[in-house]
Amino acid sequence: MKIAVACDHAGFLLKQAVLEAVVQAGDEVLFLGTDSTEPVDYPDYAEKLGSVIQSGHAERGILLCGSGVGACIAANKIKGIFACVCHDTYSAHQGVEHDDMNVLCIGTRVVGPDLVKEIVATFLAARFIGNDPGQERHARRVEKVRNLEEHWKDKSV
């Protein structure tokens, strides 16, 4: 798989560990920046990553920021992006298996390099099971989420 990786200045601290984990999993990395700890805005990198996935140039993505939350919120504004903050391996695989998550968001001020490698490996190894016999409920639920995205794209409350 081709995996897009992007980070803001806070995420830069674990960038190398994440890139190594992607390569170790046998996947190809498309690194989108940033390249230093100089302050940048996380929405810019979430948008870069989301557009690469939306265009089909990458299958999944990993976003790094201080908490993971801001990048996650920004990424989920992009149609077709299912992003989630995961600071444990269970959420990282379950989010893909049940919810078709395609972007992993990690807070680099929350986890360290050893744990981030495990989380990334788990995320990359997971596959959506909604099309498997007896697991159709997951595909039905994901379709409902996609319908929400479509329904609300041009509306305000």
Is residue 7 annotated as part of the catalytic site, yes or no? no
Catalytic residue among 65, 72, 86, 105: 65
CA distance 151 to 153: 6
Catalytic residue among 57, 72, 86, 98: 98
Hey, is 79 helix, strand or coil?
coil
pTM of the model: 0.95
- Domain regions of the chain by residue span: 2-127
Fold type of domain 2-127:
Ribose 5-phosphate Isomerase B; Chain: A, (3.40.1400)
Tens digit of pLDDT at every position of the chain (157 positions):
999 999 999 999 999 999 999 999 999 999 999 999 999 999 999 999 999 999 999 999 999 999 999 999 999 999 999 999 999 999 999 999 999 999 999 999 999 999 999 999 999 999 999 999 999 999 999 999 999 988 888 777 6
Q: Reply yes or no on whether 9 is catalytic.
A: no
